Amino acid sequence: MSITTPDELRKQFDSEGKTFADWATSNGFEPQDVYKVLNGQAKCKRGKGHKIAVLLGLKAKPTTLTTVQ
């Protein structure tokens, strides 16, 4: 999945007849958390917001961190 913008994602969901609320509940999230990510109200640096952004394709999947000794 390539990185997309919230507007592109909205158009995609509209064309497929999907709702973000349905996506949220089917992926174990609260709809309001998904809308916060889409509207830029969540920073999405870690935690739930980050996971939502990655799953929706708004952010790239994180790379594995290496341990520094």
For the residues of 14-53, what is the DSSP string, one character each?
A: HHHT--HHHHHHHTT--HHHHHHHHTT-S--SSHHHHHHH
| DSSP letter (8 states) at residue 10 | H
Q: What is the extent of the structural domain holding 32? A: 6-56
Segment among 20-24, 58-62, 65-69 with least mean pLDDT: 65-69
Number of domains the chain is built from: 1
pLDDT at 51: 96
Instruction: Give a yes or no: residue 66 inside a domain.
Output: no
Instruction: Give a yes or no: residue 67 inside a domain.
Output: no
Taking the C-alpha atoms of residue 10 and residue 56, their distance in angstroms, rounded to an integer, is: 11
Helix (H) or strand (E) holding 1: none
14 compared with 62, residue with greater pLDDT = 14
36-65: pLDDT as tens digits: 999 999 999 999 999 999 999 999 988 866
pLDDT at 67: 60
